Structure 1
């Protein structure tokens, strides 16, 4: 009777936990993206928070960083409200032109097939993702508020949360848990603090350049910056294609302006930042395979939407960490069996 009672209690507890998890998921599923982006922003801002805390104290540091992020968030919302329609139209035109150019290249048949598939699916997918965040401005405003709230809360309690994560690791497989956490940290470092960070910075410089040199209007310049970020995530190609295209457009107007913009592009987009700032910034950090990053980012983008840019590479990184751990276990097993035979 005692065993049966324990089994019934276990079933009740499992059912209760399942119901709670379901209710929490239904509550948060529409807010997963701002929550994940808020945590990611905290991770990026944490080193700056540590430095500011030494001078201003933790509370002032959190308030200052949160205020700066709030300003950028408000500017982003205003930009979406004013220019999103024209930006989407320009971005779609740029993507079609880019994939038409790719299709005209003399490349092997398998690459040509990949380019054709990307040309038919990727622009529409990107457009759907952007429209998802912009068709309902009240919904977008709510997500931005959640994003800021998550950033403030996680940055304020960053030390406590870090301790809690390690305390939750099971004692029996603690080594594996620590390896998984380390793999997540390495992957997030490589994706957020190097790849995406530099891609976004280059996109911002390209947007400023397109507008200052009057290559396009505000919406067209923003679209060019977004495409620059996308191209920076691809191997071989990069943001240099965008500043080169801008220089060609300017060449028809003024040779001097085209040369000046080319110098601007070389210094701020590619290749100078790749050989100076990026190499210093990534020094001493674990690297992530470009294939893993590429497949993770674009696979995650297709599967999960915008938040997949972060979740995709982390998922693949965790899978690789589990494979490595399994290999280590397999290598240890024969040595233990041999040792017992010798005994």
Structure 2
């Protein structure tokens, strides 16, 4: 072997050793504490998730119910916190009378006795609807929640007033920048210490507005999470954290996590240093992120002594596994 090849081999060996030492967990501090649990939509009625499309009416595919809670309601949020959730996720739509309605669907037809696009109505109208109207687990033979959800659609203002100290994740359902302006105006009225307990995610345009207006609020959108994760896979070995990963809520599918340099402890430490918080989801299967870590089998895929965040639809099942 000539000298040039020897030098090249030595340089490669040194670089490899440096990358290893910079990313090995043997030299990384472990963040103590139990995982942070995020309850997606509070405690909700589950549904058959096979072959879902954007316009699938999930209320019509409800699985046999084990509880009486309806998603995105004050009661379901309160129950999820009591069950061990540290953070509650909720969905919001602007209304024609200046409020934000807490409701998941783009339209009212599936889940309620109303009709039309959610944001094209006033909150006064939405308050009159039965949000349990469309739930059925037997193809429409019975509707166990019909008549029980009248007036249960809350406003964002009501949620903030009911849970003044609890951590919240707000999902902006649309992509209109004006939604970001309106939401930023609402959050800007809160004390700085309260805003520090709130995260925002959703459409690229409104989330970017919130990110610009309120730099103390952690945010993430489809574009920024892709930029964050792909950037980190590309050059995170160096210890450099992509800009998109700063001051963010980092949503990380469990099957993508092993690709993160320094996973888990060094990765979590780097995100913490960037003022970001990591939440692991279920497996990414292309096109869409999975909804959550919802079974003991999925939970078992997390590293031992994992202390980051966990996104779940089954807070009642997952909380006992972490001792909450």
Bin for the TM-score computed over the shorter chain = under 0.3
Bigger radius of gyration: 1
Which structure shows the higher strand fraction?
2
Which structure shows the higher helix fraction?
1
TM-score (norm 1): 0.23
